[in-house]
Amino acid sequence: MLNLTITALREAYRKGLRPAEVVREIDRRVDARGDDSVWIHRIPLADLLTRAEHLEANPDLPLYGIPFALKDNIDVAGLPTTAGCPAFRYVAERTAPVVERLLAAGAILIGKTNLDQFATGLVGTRSPYGVPSCVFDERYIAGGSSSGSAVAVAAALVSFALGTDTAGSGRVPAAFNAIVGLKPSHGLLSTAGVVPACHTLDCVSVFALTCQDARQVLEVAGETPVLRGPVVPAGAPFRFGVPVAAQLEFFGDVEAAELYRLAQERLVGMGGERVEIDFAPFQAAAQLLYGGPWVAERLAAVGEFLFAHPGEIHPVVSEIISSGSRFSAVDAFRGLYRLEELKEAASHQWKQMDMLVLPTTGTTYTKAEVEAEPIKLNTNLGYYTNFVNLMDLCALALPAGLRPNGLPFGIQFIAPAFNDRSLSTLGETFLVGTADSNADPSLVRLAVVGAHLSGQPLNYQLTERHARLVRACRTADNYRLYALAGTVPPKPGLVRDPDLNGQGIEVEVWAMTGEAFGSFVAAVPEPLVIGTLVLEDGERVKGFLCEPYAIADAREITYFEGWRAYLADLSGG
Q: Which residues belong to the active site?
A: 71, 145, 169
Which residue in 406, 456, 405 sits closest to 566, CA to CA?
A: 456
Amino acid, single-letter form, for residue 558: T
d(CA 82, CA 91) in angstroms, rounded, equals 9
Which residue in 123, 21, 86, 392 sits closest to 131, CA to CA?
A: 123
d(CA 150, CA 155) in angstroms, rounded, equals 9
Amino acid, single-letter form, for residue 266: R
d(CA 312, CA 519) in angstroms, rounded, equals 59
Cis, bond preceding 173 (omega within 30 deg of 0): no
The answer for residues whose C-beta is within 8 angstroms of residue 260's C-beta and 6 or more apart is 248, 250, 359, 400, 409, 411
Q: What are phi and psi of 67, to 5 degrees?
A: -80, 140
Please tell me whether residue 219 adopts helix, strand or coil conformation: helix
Please tell me whether residue 403 adopts helix, strand or coil conformation: coil
Q: Which alpha helices (H) appear in 44-120, and where do they start and end?
A: 45-55, 97-104
DSSP letter at 34 equals -
Please tell me whether residue 2 adopts helix, strand or coil conformation: coil
Contact, 118 vs 312, CB < 8 A? Answer: no
d(CA 276, CA 245) in angstroms, rounded, equals 9
Q: Are strands 393-402 and 355-359 parallel, antiparallel or unpaired?
A: unpaired
Which residue in 263, 132, 147, 260 sits closest to 205, CA to CA?
A: 147
Q: Which alpha helices (H) appear in 235-388, and where do they start and end?
A: 254-269, 280-291, 295-308, 315-322, 329-350, 367-372, 374-381
d(CA 496, CA 477) in angstroms, rounded, equals 9
Q: Are strands 180-183 and 443-448 parallel, antiparallel or unpaired?
A: unpaired
No. of H helices and E strands in the chain?
18, 23
DSSP letter at 487 equals -
d(CA 303, CA 563) in angstroms, rounded, equals 49
Query: What is the number of residues in the chain?
Result: 573
Task: Dump strand ranges (E) for 12-91.
Answer: 39-42, 67-71, 80-81, 90-91
